[in-house]
Structure 1
Amino acid sequence: MDDIKIGEILLPGDEETQERQEERVRAKFWPTLRKAFRQIPFSRDLVASFYCATDRETPLRVRGILLAALGYFVLPLDAVPDMFAVIGFTDDIAVLTTAIALVSRHIKESHYVAADRMLADGSSEPDAA
């Protein structure tokens, strides 16, 4: 992560960039979460962040920051490849923790309710977003 600064990763981008990022995140979030679930100690916050980032009522800048972090999470190649057990997700955790800390006041109770429902069901993805 020395060459890549977390602040650079979390740039919200313009609306077009966010739309592309959201498309990528929606396609890859749930499969990536299933692989990383046991290694990420804050899965509830992570899933709530997904719901916040895909909520059209969330401010554009906040959505952009979360989509950038979630996009980094779903990338197959990053600073520390995820294929390395345990340490593979440490860079993802650093980016996600920073993003969540930056925008935590925008993650609503309804996002957590949706996350709790999703985690309790144990299904791979939501019925509809």
Structure 2
Amino acid sequence: MSTIEGEILGPEARVDDAQEQKVRAGFWRTLTRAASQIQFAEDVVAGYYCALDPKTPARARAILFGALAYFVLPADAVPDFLAFIGFSDDLAVLTMAIATVRGHMTEAHKAAARKALAQMRGEGTGRPGTSGPD
């Protein structure tokens, strides 16, 4: 799966941007690998949806895409495959980004995050990030 089709926020959230495409391509795969180490997964997923939302101000979207790209891309300061510390640098970057743009994260972003996480845990139908079954 190279991209996620049928995002919860709809097709109007799609923008032709290389960084966005990289984040879309690897977000769910990386989140699944890191889920046990992320205490604030709902905020991370809500940040993902906030970044995809065209109503989010450009500065906030840029901050979120930068942090999410750092989370998704394999090259970073501490390799993600190292047990217990691999995602620590990613989580620090995500924490700072989310704290910076929290005011732009709407209830719709949070609801979409809860729904996607429930699907990821097998509580719903379909794969995360979709509005229906596969």
TM-score range, shorter chain: 0.7 to 0.9
Q: How does 1:16-95 map to 2 (within 5 A)?
A: 19-95=17-93
In the other structure, the counterpart of 1:4 is: none
Identity of aligned residues (%): 53
RMSD of aligned C-alpha atoms?
1.3
Higher relative contact order (CA 8 A, sep 6+): 1
CA contact (8 A) 2:116 2:130 kept: no
Number of residue pairs matched by the alignment: 111
How high is the TM-score relative to the length of structure 2? 0.79
How high is the TM-score relative to the length of structure 1? 0.82
Counterpart check, 1:127 vs 2:125: no
Q: Please list every run of at least 4 consecutive aligned residues from structure 1 whose deviation after the TM superposition is greater than 6 angstroms.
A: none
CA contact (8 A) 1:34 1:124 kept: no
Counterpart pick for 1:115 among 108, 113, 116: 113
For structure 1, the 5+ residue unaligned runs are 1-17
Report the alpha carbon displacement of residue 124 of structure 1 after superposing the two structures with TM. Answer: 4.3
For structure 2, the 5+ residue unaligned runs are 1-15, 121-125
